[in-house]
Chain A
Amino acid sequence: MDRRIAITGLGVLSPCGIGVGPLADAVRDGRSAVGPVTCFDPALYPSRVAGEIREFDPSAGVRKDQSRYVKKMAKVMARDIQLAVAASNQAILDTGLPLGDPKADEPVLPTVDHTRFGMVFGTGFIPTELDDLAGPVRASFVDGHFSLKGWGAHGISQMFPLWLLKYLPNMHACHTGILWDAQGPSNSLTSSDAGGLLAMDECVRLIRRGTADLMLAGGAESRVTPVLMLRYCLLHRLSETRGDPAAACRPFDLDRTGQVSGEGAAVLVLEERRAAEKRAARIYGEVLGTGTSTVTAGVNACDEDGRGIAAAVRRALADAGVAPGDLGAVVAHGTALPMQDRSEARGLAAALGPAAGQVPVTATKGVTGNLGAAGGLADVAVALVLLRDGRVPPILNCTRPDPEGGLALVTGEPRPLANDLILVTSNAIGGQTAAAVVRLER
């Protein structure tokens, strides 16, 4: 492959804080950011814990004109979109690319060909905020019941005019593209938990085929909303534990109780390697290969044998030209939902073959909860930063490891990193699967 892909910028917002640093510290130290739900009153919800981002200013950290744009537009950006824009800003600033002076009428990134700069985001389909509909709904009641006739006659006119734009799943890319004048390819993948790594797969192909030189691979989602928590409670996916929230999410643990909703955004700047080297960029690592597949067991099920996960992992390894035994570590999806964890353990074991018992497997969701479309790329980011010290951190809350698949789950103490090749995987229940192989650079 003559066009190689360097990772030259990281932007992460997670329940651990703003930036990849706080997330990496929390994963290394085994500190969970999962707590009681505070952004709404979960008293009647079967699941009452979540990984929330507590303090977040969407307009922080960028230059004044960009900050002004974000402040002005914040009311038409649902939280997912705000998180994505902020993580993108962080990631681009992290690249060290020179910034233009808007007063001198310079391009926003003067050394970048803006027509060859694009982005692909993994996004969720964002549910409406309830307050947005409260007034219009009330105005629509006829004889004590909600009425469509009433909605048409009295409800619609009370809605916020730009309501639709606040929730469209391509608005992460729209606003980020406007802020950074990215005129290259722009896509938004609605592939649930796998969205972030699928975005990376597409970005890699766009750079390799020569359509773009610089791409943002991103993912952003908030699962901590009254509508989504209700949905996943009804589907029995969420932990209903009443114990210590920090112990609620237990990936690959025999006593696991389900997923914990989380929220976050992760954006990686992918840059054609020669261009990155030419400008002497700091290179966190290289994307060697990606692979994708899907679950075929049904839309609300996981493959019993994890074959969709195994297929994505095998394809990523083949694309990277890496043998399973050469991997230094695996960062697994590990949501702590029993059926999903089991499927993943079997799929990983099948794809890793005889190496399954040796390659250390870790997971981060005990610390953050499920970041949805942001999860896979947050895992890549944290691996690039944290594993550089040569130690694979243990899986938080995995105290009685499930022997399923015979994986070398890291528990208790960190394990040494034998090799700089890292595999990261994501999968959606009933949906897409994805994997990526990255090589750390020090």
Chain B
Amino acid sequence: MNRPAARPGHGWSMERRIVITGMGSVTPLGLTYEETWRNLLAGKSGIRPIAIFDASTFPTTFAAQVPDFDAARYVKDPASIEKAGRNVRFAMAAGRMALEDAGLLGGPYDPDRFGIYLGSGEGILDFFTLCESIAHGTGPDGKVSAVGFAELGLKRYDPMRELEQEPNMPANHLAAEYGLRGPTFSNLTACAASTQGIGEAADLIRTRRADLMLAGGTHSMIHPLGVTGFNLLTAISTEPKDEPWRASRPFDRDRQGFVLGEGSTIMVLEELEHARARGARIWAEVVGFGTSADAYRMTDIHPEGRGPVAAMRMALESAGIRPDQVDYISAHGTGTTENDKVETLSVKLLFGEHARKVPISSVKSTLGHLIAAAGATELMTCVLAIRDQVLPPTMNLDTPDPECDLDYVPNAARKAKVDVCMSNSFGFGGQNDALVVRRYMP
């Protein structure tokens, strides 16, 4: 492919190229990336009634949950994750599968040159203990005294379970499990976290701070306070309760919010020469990254897509790729009224004429919204789209919305020529990130 020189100014020189050499993933649609991919292409939904806790009286009663699996299989010492939350369990599975996929499990690698960057949310809050301790401490004035709270809390809380709530725990567990001592970060920019994490992880390799990075995300907000919080913001879909697989409808006129998902996708990012020297299989090259902020409002996206356009533009410029060279866009596509409208507008503003031609789809229609793990999981689908030359569909797109009039690959997977993909993530709070991956060409 004719690749124009990367625009100076974003520092993404060709001096050190970054490739993906391993992927591991646990999602509501599968316990391996192949299984998830197969189900995505088949249009199968992962959305079911919530089984993790009793949500029967909640406004939203369904979510896309990871099927039961034995996380102990993925760690050396099962006791090390005994008190860990779902996020850590997902990350240990995805991390190990990524290392295995990269041919790095058990080494050899230099642990000082191998880092971690995870978009990572909270562990699972001990909600019962919190609530019972709060009730114990609540006085007639409706205020909670710390004396009363602590009286029960000191007896009931499990110290390690409390520690496991902290959002850097997945990174900490992975570092301990594999002895990785490269640069290690965990970030939480809501729904954009793992796209941003992969972009910054690539920068850590480019700037010679590491040769290898485990990069991606892990999250579960399918817990009582997570569902509560999103219900209060009316951000998540509440209907139809009897056919929940129809509830996530990105770009459809009747969309009414996203559906919570959970899971983890972790990739091995590697400096190209390092990968070549060890004869690694190369999945794709990470060629561009763009990052911006709306600086507009707490939850609303800038109506003219100022932030999303800036992030996508920076991603293309850093890659030295023209808009008309993009074969597929993995949309943020949450299924909220605002997001899908503004994302569509942003793509039109940046891609111009080509916007009508470039297919764009949202796997959130069946996978749900994996929040901090969403971006990494969606990037994984881009990599697999390049491998198989097929695009995953946007399911439930039954009634077109006049404001969402692009080619969303509605309701069925589609064969296509796919060499260059862009993956978008726009976070609650205004962080916008976009990655560009390309078929690897020596």
Contacts and interface: CB of A to CB of B under 8 A. Distances in A.
B202 to A, nearest CB: 11
Interface size grouping (class) on chain A: 35 or more
Interface string B151-171: 101100101101111111101
B49 interface: no
Contact of A137 (B138, B150, B206, B295): B138
Contacts of B232: 156, 159-164
B131 A133 contact: yes
Interface string B166-179: 11110111011001
Contacts of B103: none
Interface in B104-143: 111-112, 115-116, 120, 122, 128, 130-132, 134-135, 137-138, 142-143
A187 interface: yes
A365 interface: no
A209 B429 contact: no
Interface stretch (A93-101, A172-180, A268-276, A403-411): A172-180
B298 A174 contact: yes
A188 B187 contact: yes
Interface in A41-70: 41-45
A168 B429 contact: yes
A235 B198 CA distance: 32
Nearest to A155: B228
Contacts of A418: none
B226 to A, nearest CB: 8
Contacts of B69: none
B147 A190 contact: no
Interface string B234-263: 000000000000000000000000000000
Contacts of B128: 146
Contacts of A141: 135
B54 interface: yes
A260 B179 CA distance: 30
B180 A296 contact: yes
B429 to A, nearest CB: 4
A187 B196 contact: yes
Contacts of A323: none
Nearest to A204: B207
Interface stretch (B5-13, B18-26, B37-45, B407-415): B5-13
B207 A138 contact: no
Contacts of A140: 131
A170 B190 contact: yes
Contacts of B217: none
Given A161-B233, A177-B295, A294 B8 contact: no
Interface residues of B, number: 99
A231 B159 contact: yes
Interface string B296-317: 1111000000110010001000
A11 B207 CA distance: 29
A209 B10 contact: yes
Interface stretch (A247-255, A351-359, A382-390, A426-434): A426-434
Contacts of B145: 40-41
A220 interface: no
B163 A231 contact: yes
B440 interface: no
A241 interface: no
A268 to B, nearest CB: 18
Nearest to B7: A210
A141 B163 CA distance: 27
B10 A210 contact: yes
A280 to B, nearest CB: 25
A131 interface: yes
B173 to A, nearest CB: 6
Among B137, B163, B294, max chain A CB count under 10 A is at B163
A44 B147 contact: yes
B361 interface: no
Interface stretch (A23-31, A84-92, A297-305, A329-337): A297-305
B292 A208 contact: no
19 contacts: A125-B167, A128-B225, A130-B149, A151-B228, A152-B56, A162-B233, A163-B232, A169-B167, A170-B189, A174-B429, A188-B189, A205-B204, A211-B10, A235-B159, A292-B115, A294-B182, A311-B181, A431-B184, A432-B168
Interface of A: 40-45, 73, 76, 114-115, 118, 123, 125, 128, 130-131, 133-135, 137-138, 140-141, 145-146, 148-153, 155-156, 159-165, 168-171, 173-175, 177-178, 180-192, 198, 201-202, 205, 208-211, 226-227, 230-231, 233-236, 292-300, 307-308, 311, 315, 428, 430-432
Top 5 nearest A-B pairs (CB, nearest first) are: A209-B11, A152-B57, A164-B229, A294-B184, A130-B144
Interface of B: 8-12, 53-59, 80, 111-112, 115-116, 120, 122, 128, 130-132, 134-135, 137-138, 142-147, 149-151, 153-154, 157, 159-160, 162-169, 171-173, 175-176, 179-190, 196, 200, 203-204, 206-207, 209, 224-225, 228-233, 291-299, 306-307, 310, 314, 427-431
Given A140-B131, A292-B209, 13 more contacts: A41-B146, A44-B151, A73-B298, A125-B122, A146-B132, A160-B232, A173-B293, A177-B295, A191-B186, A205-B207, A211-B10, A211-B314, A432-B185
